[in-house]
A and B are shown apart, each in its own frame.
Chain A
Amino acid sequence: MWITRTEFVDIAHKGIWKQNTSLVQILGLCPLLAVTTNLVNGVMLSLATLLVMSLSNLAVSSLRHFIPYEIRIPVFILIAAALVTVVDLAMNAYLHGLYVVLGIFIPLIITNCIVLARIEAFAAKNRPAPAMMDGAMMGVGMLWTLALIGAMRELIGGGTLFSGIDLVIPGAQALQLLPADYPGLLMAVLPPGAFIILGCIIASKNWIDARSATRQLTQAAPVSAGGCH
Chain B
Amino acid sequence: MSTPAEKHALRVSGETSLTLVAFIVFFTALLAWVYLFSQPVIEQSTRNEKLVVLNQILPANLYNNDPLADSLTLPPEPQLGTKTASTVYRARNNGKDSALVMDVIAPDGYSGPIKLLVAFSANGQVLGVRAVEHKETPGLGDYIDPRKDKNKTSPWIDQFNNVPLSLSNKDWHVKKDGGDFDAYAGATVTPRAVVKAVHRAQEFVMDNRKVLFTRSTTQNSANP
Contact = CB atoms under 8 A, between A and B. Distances in A.
Contacts of A96: 42, 45-46, 48-49
B211 interface: no
A171 interface: no
Interface residues of A, number: 28
Interface stretch (A3-11, A24-32, A68-76, A126-134): A68-76
Nearest to A90: B38
B42 A82 contact: no
Contacts of A158: 139
Interface residues of B, number: 24
Given A82-B31, A86-B31, A89-B42, A71 B140 contact: no
A159 B78 CA distance: 40
Interface in B10-31: 15-16, 19-20, 23-24, 27-28, 30-31
B1 to A, nearest CB: 26
B34 A90 contact: yes
Given A68-B16, A68-B19, A78-B27, A89 B35 contact: yes
Contacts, number: 63
A189 B31 contact: no
Given A86-B30, A93-B45, A190-B138, A78 B23 contact: yes
Considering residues B23, B41, B48, which has the most beta carbons from chain A within 10 angstroms of its beta carbon?
A: B23
10 closest pairs, A vs B, by CB? A96-B45, A93-B41, A82-B27, A93-B38, A89-B38, A189-B138, A184-B139, A93-B42, A68-B16, A186-B139
